[in-house]
Amino acid sequence: MSQVSPTLEGFRAAFRRPTLTFAEIAWRWTLGATAWALLLFSFFEYLNTLPVTHADAALLSTRHPALVGRALTHILRGSLNRVVLAALLGALALSLLWIVTASIGRAATVRALLDYFAGRRNVADDSSAETSEKVESLSFRWLVGLHFLRVATVLAALLALVGAAILAGFASSDANPQPGLAFILFLPLASLICIAWPMLNWVLSLACVFSIRDGEDTLGALAAAVTFFRERLGPVLAVSAWTSLAHFVAFSVATTVVSLPLSLIQFAPSRLVIACILLVTLAYFAVVDWLYIARLAGYICIAEMSETVPASSLLPPATSPTGNVASLQTTIDRDEPILSDVPNLAVET
């Protein structure tokens, strides 16, 4: 039996099913455009709430740094509460929108990849019908719960960073300021947080596959994801490593291409340079979404392979002392003395 490479199967699935990438781009970019629109709308609405007197306008018209700073201080005084409240409401709205949109988008892409690999394995119609019924009977709340946990991990990571900064700040006081020591204490704590959060986020994103495929609840999907990672550590790391390497190559190419129009900003029109940078950025994001689909397809390929490998293929064939392959004995020898019901028969023989 030929060895199947989950990494190659993932890239092959992403090539053969470009609609999956378009679906991923659709919900991700729609959410991103909504976030940018909400941010710009909130910014302009915030500017409209700022009181600007004639004295402030006169100070701004002087363009003197000290006078302009005094005018801005007077204009922005007392507006921090509105900024914090608007940021909290915007973050809450975007989080709820992301939870619902990501649940719908992930259900669609994983379902399509499961159908793709089922067709690659030539699964019978009754098995496909059973899988379809299992997927259709999946409760939407489990996916919502997983994505809610992903949002909660982001909030926990931010609060942990703030707590680490507060703890590190205790090393430096007003009487004895030591900013270097505080930074040295903050750096390892921040590093641990920045390592733990991506790992938790990755496990939660992987758990969505098992929630959709097996109909697991939130905790069951997390347990299945951890078990899957522990039992299939090598293939999972291989898929993650190759897709991460491809992501790094795409990032390097994108930054190199972006630097070209930036070097011509003194000679080319500024609008043309900005348009080129936006096009390269959008192309980079599209490639990243395609790589995510390839990595997700690789994980699903590993999960499907682990179920189709027969148990007998995992056992090496028994060999006789002469070197020939011997057949395995599947029956019990009733004449074996140890199986007799007569006491001490094995000792007497």
Q: Given CA atoms 54, 57, 59, 61 in this order, what sign does their dihedral have?
A: negative
- Residue 205, CB-side half-sphere exposure with 13 Å CA sphere: 16
The reported pTM is: 0.77
The tokens of 289 are what?
């979404």
* pLDDT value at residue 191: 93
DSSP assignments along 58-127, one per residue:
HHHHH--HHHHHHHHHHHHTT-HHHHHHHHHHHHHHHHHHHHHHHHHHHHHHHHHHHHHHHHHTT--HHH
Question: Can you tell me the distance from the alpha carbon of 71 to that of 65, in angstroms, rounded to the nearest whole number?
Answer: 10
pLDDT of residue 182: 85
Q: Which two tokens stand for residue 13?
A: 């699935």
Q: Which pLDDT does position 121 carry in this prediction?
A: 61
Residue length, the chain? 349
Which among 293, 299, 243 is positioned nearest to 109, based on CA atoms? 293
**Tokens linked to 12:** 């092959």
What are the structure tokens assigned to 186, written together? 């903050």
How far apart, in whole angstroms, are the C-alpha atoms of residue 214 and residue 307?
12
Q: Over the chain (349 residues), what is each successive 10-residue block's mean pLDDT?
A: 78 91 91 90 83 80 82 78 84 92 89 84 50 53 89 94 90 79 89 93 91 84 91 92 94 90 79 88 94 93 69 43 47 48 48
Q: How many CB atoms lie within 10 A of CB 102?
A: 21
